[in-house]
Structure 1
């Protein structure tokens, strides 16, 4: 797929994500005012954070699509990790605030009862349906483009379905059986899920900023491609690091030293294309060595 088309699809997913988040924030604000439901408050906070994350993701997609320049020779994809790290902090703070509010409501005798459960249930059903439509489009775009920002955003919205469904169940139980405490319990569970998600997102962003290696699956795929590639007799010094949705890969391949430079270059270029075709997020740098090359003893880095 051409880069321009890939960028357009990725941006379309980002714009749809922002639009859906805006709709959900507005609908849940109305539902919270109508019902006084703490579980809806939890999903509202989650949707508000989704809006921030979607805006950050859209900005990251646009910014990361910029080509490398003199000041950023390796591109701009680290912006995605910086945005994700900031988002994880916001999510954790909100989760703590929701958990405290839920605990205070559970332990207090003077609380405002949940009201107009039917209106709140309609809003939650609307939220679930709209979220499912968004996730379906994000999955399609992610499959076509390989964009990791869109894929991560899709996974986040899938996780949002759980507190939305929990709020729907809490409202129904309160309407049918007067179990108002379920609302606070659902809010506590939603806060826990938000905290777990914040830790996961923050860790991934921190790892990328600290140049952590790519996943084992990525490395295994590359090793399989290189190990089976025609003309390549071996490889060594395979190194990777992540930056946003990109994975930078350096590798030394061993070639027949008697062949011409043109022949060696053709093998390396074809290998690079094969790796990128299998792993579109890869930025590949290949160094070519003759078979049996030994490390130079005077090299201070012994490489």
Structure 2
């Protein structure tokens, strides 16, 4: 098993342990902040399971049913995760507002503080491990997982601080106020996850910086007269690039094929951490204007 998949299994196990402890203490103590942290850990568990599933399925080779592979499973997982996070954030927001309207004292304060301290220690160890794996393999999924748990580390620290303030000052209002803050944070953090997943499902092109790297490489080629119709899209760790290369009309098919193979290799070198799938069309002259006219006529009819 790849170390990336092992890392997601360890993340899932850690999140599962934290869910059990936090949920039990959150329910019996009545602390909205601890309950919010428990739900956040439940989301972490879902995210880690989704990441394991996405990494496992994305390794599958294209087949007769999925000719371009299953890289978009990562986008589907992002949309599902973002939706779950948003709904959970709304639930926490409702619980916090309800506690402000009908105040309830927090019980089992020592147990609540203990479980949050345990959560900080366990999450900190997990972040160190995930960062180690991310630096070793530079896997985007693991890097995102490490960043997510690092954020949880700060959140858990804030909750422990608020419980300490309540314990020593009796200022109970800080619990639902912190719950509201966590809910807002969860909802706002879900938006970019949802957006990225939806954009990938809609076949958004590569970023301007990534596209510029391809264009710069093509412009430096001396064996072609030009290029046009550059199209790109990303599906998880898979990058698809389509481009027309313009050759001299005296260039043989064999020579054009050799140059196209070189271009494909150079594209893969531009993105060493991704699987690049180039699709190159060879032209004996620049037919970009003609093709654009044909497309316009096609849409006009």
**TM-score after normalising by structure 2:** 0.86
Counterpart of 1:28? Answer: 22
Counterpart of 2:269? Answer: 277
Counterpart of 1:81? Answer: 75
Deviation at residue 55 of structure 1 after TM alignment: 0.9
CA contact (8 A) 2:8 2:51 kept: yes
The structure 1 residue matched to 2:254, chosen from 241, 262, 270, is 262
How many angstroms apart in 2 are the aligned matches of 1:61 and 1:68? Answer: 15
Deviation at residue 145 of structure 1 after TM alignment: 4.2
Moved more, 43-52 or 129-138: 129-138
The structure 2 residue matched to 1:51, chosen from 22, 31, 45, is 45
Deviation at residue 233 of structure 1 after TM alignment: 4.4
Residue segments in structure 2 that go unaligned for 5+ positions in a row = none
How many angstroms apart in 2 are the aligned matches of 1:227 and 1:166? Answer: 52
Does residue 240 of structure 2 align to residue 248 of structure 1? yes
Alpha-carbon displacement from aligned partner over 1:128-152 (angstroms, at most 9, x marks no partner): 3333333344344445545433333
Alpha-carbon displacement from aligned partner over 1:68-92 (angstroms, at most 9, x marks no partner): 0011111011222222212222111
How many angstroms apart in 2 are the aligned matches of 1:274 and 1:132? Answer: 40
Deviation at residue 296 of structure 1 after TM alignment: 4.2
The structure 2 residue matched to 1:301, chosen from 277, 283, 295, is 295
Alpha-carbon displacement from aligned partner over 1:184-217 (angstroms, at most 9, x marks no partner): 1111111111111222211111111111222222
Alpha-carbon displacement from aligned partner over 1:164-190 (angstroms, at most 9, x marks no partner): 122111111111211211111111111
Does residue 184 of structure 2 align to residue 202 of structure 1? no
How many angstroms apart in 2 are the aligned matches of 1:169 and 1:96? Answer: 23
Does residue 11 of structure 2 align to residue 17 of structure 1? yes
The structure 2 residue matched to 1:170, chosen from 162, 167, 170, is 162
Moved more, 182-191 or 256-265: 256-265
Does residue 21 of structure 2 align to residue 40 of structure 1? no
Deviation at residue 294 of structure 1 after TM alignment: 5.5
SS at match of 1:300: helix
How many angstroms apart in 2 are the aligned matches of 1:206 and 1:103? Answer: 31
CA contact (8 A) 1:231 1:255 kept: yes
Superposed CA RMSD: 2.6
SS at match of 1:115: coil
User: Across the two proteins, how many residue pairs are aligned to each other?
Assistant: 295
How many angstroms apart in 1 are the aligned matches of 2:228 and 2:132? Answer: 36
Counterpart of 1:212? Answer: 204
Counterpart of 2:116? Answer: 124
CA contact (8 A) 1:128 1:165 kept: yes
Q: Judging changes above 3 Å, is the alpha-carbon distance between structure 1 residues 100 and 33 closer, same or farther for their aligned structure 2 residues? A: closer
Q: Judging changes above 3 Å, is the alpha-carbon distance between structure 1 residues 296 and 224 closer, same or farther for their aligned structure 2 residues? A: closer
Moved more, 93-102 or 19-28: 19-28
**TM-score after normalising by structure 1:** 0.86
Counterpart of 1:225? Answer: 217
How many angstroms apart in 2 are the aligned matches of 1:164 and 1:298? Answer: 56
CA contact (8 A) 2:228 2:288 kept: no
